[in-house]
Structure 1
């Protein structure tokens, strides 16, 4: 598989997103029986092997996953890292005053406890951008921090809180460590809502926030691009699958579009 990758913001070169030596352990984790069938059905849109390979994931890494949600990527990362690496899940706060986050935290904990043979070595910590709870990993401990479609959630708390999250990621990484970001992409010619109410974010915004705290953009990829997504839906990104936020309204049209157009960015801590 080939994709366009940009180095910095200017130069571009056509290179393969799959490493020269295939990672059979990662492929086995992606094909594993621990994965939820409904999650696996979305591989065609989320490209887990290509995405994680692009970020440079290794089985011996210490990895932080920010806001793992229902554990889509957790189901892959946990078995992959179990023997040689370390997975820290920076999840929702069970002590949050908001019932939504309490329920989310409880569901994730239950998921981990249900399959100890897969998740027994996972470390569960707390991440709450709105409350400023960002001590989810020791300083300089991580080789790789990953976040999938979460920047718009941070933006809902304002720019200062969003910047604080980027700073916390930078601080948690070792020198040379990687911050991998996948996010719904707002076209560059649109006006960016500062709270990202539609769920879409301009790529330049993410790059700017990362560079402010010291990250360097190492590469960007179109692995998760979808040119059919116009990013101007009545209900925002949640009108698209798998959410179908508008239910049956225009469902066939949204199904034909598929999941959102997404940026895939690889930042490095110098």
Structure 2
């Protein structure tokens, strides 16, 4: 199927005089990459509860945008319940390397996932994040891709000021030329910046500033994970929306209709 897709893409582009050889190869390669990622996302081994979140999280388009290859060394920062672990660990199992990094407490659900299906998730490597002296760390300069999904607000909320440390450690993990992919709940640029400390939403400009201060180059952004129905002004912040639904049955149908949060999708590069 993948060879057919590659050939079809090449033939289609070859008929367009505006495409050169390099453009044709890049587009064909992206199509095959998307097909490989789609296979992993479509696996029957994924939890049904996670599959239900796909319409909001767009994992095929997101991982394709970040250019995650099956032979890459990929670090996922704070994997939470394992939504992306269930995709990335099997996807990287034959030629790549997968790290799940967090505190011991933050890795509990991923470890449980591995215990439940040791064969499928045998390739998970663990490390601490943020790491202190003596912790198991992702080796510096070893990762092709570092990914973090909906976590930046946790490093900046309240009195916390761990964003600079987090981005500097992610920078250190990456090889020169490596990619940092960030998905985060998006606060409108016109909103009061104080909301970043309480709402779970972050301004794109704030995330960019943190990354660029650590040395990253901004590559681009995508609207893959945008949700124009999200107004980002709820009584319990982003947790008002699904899947948390912190208000319980109060206005439940309204928040279910909005769906998950509006999200920025940002790509950065560690300079070569």
1:255 counterpart residue number? 256
Determine if contact 2:195/2:201 at 8 Å carries over to the other structure. Answer: no
- 1:32 & 1:71 partners in 2: Cα distance? 15
Relative distance call for 1:259 and 1:194 in structure 2 (3 A) is closer
Give the TM-score taking structure 2 as reference length: 0.84
Q: CA RMSD in A?
A: 2.1
Determine if contact 2:157/2:200 at 8 Å carries over to the other structure. Answer: no
- 1:134 & 1:260 partners in 2: Cα distance? 34
Q: Which runs of 5+ in 2 are unaligned?
A: 1-26
- 2:96 & 2:51 partners in 1: Cα distance? 23
Determine if contact 2:81/2:110 at 8 Å carries over to the other structure. Answer: yes
2:204 counterpart residue number? 203
1:25 counterpart residue number? 36
- 2:158 & 2:252 partners in 1: Cα distance? 30
Q: CA deviation at 1:255?
A: 1.1
Aligned pairs for 1:105-120 within 5 A: 105-120=107-122
1:173 counterpart residue number? 174
Choose which of 86, 92, 95 in structure 1 pairs with 2:103.
92
Deviates more, 1:51-60 or 1:110-119: 110-119
1:225 counterpart residue number? 226
Q: CA deviation at 1:202?
A: 0.3
- 1:60 & 1:88 partners in 2: Cα distance? 13
Aligned residue pairs, count: 244
Higher relative contact order (CA 8 A, sep 6+): 1
Give the TM-score taking structure 1 as reference length: 0.85
Choose which of 32, 52, 58 in structure 1 pairs with 2:63.
52
Structure number with higher strand proportion: 1
Aligned pairs for 1:121-140 within 5 A: 121-128=123-130, 136-140=137-141
Determine if contact 2:130/2:169 at 8 Å carries over to the other structure. Answer: no
Aligned pairs for 1:189-200 within 5 A: 189-193=190-194, 196-200=197-201
The structure with the largest alpha-carbon Rg is 2
Deviation >6 Å, runs of 4+? 131-134
Q: CA deviation at 1:29?
A: 1.0
2:189 counterpart residue number? 188
Q: CA deviation at 1:259?
A: 0.6
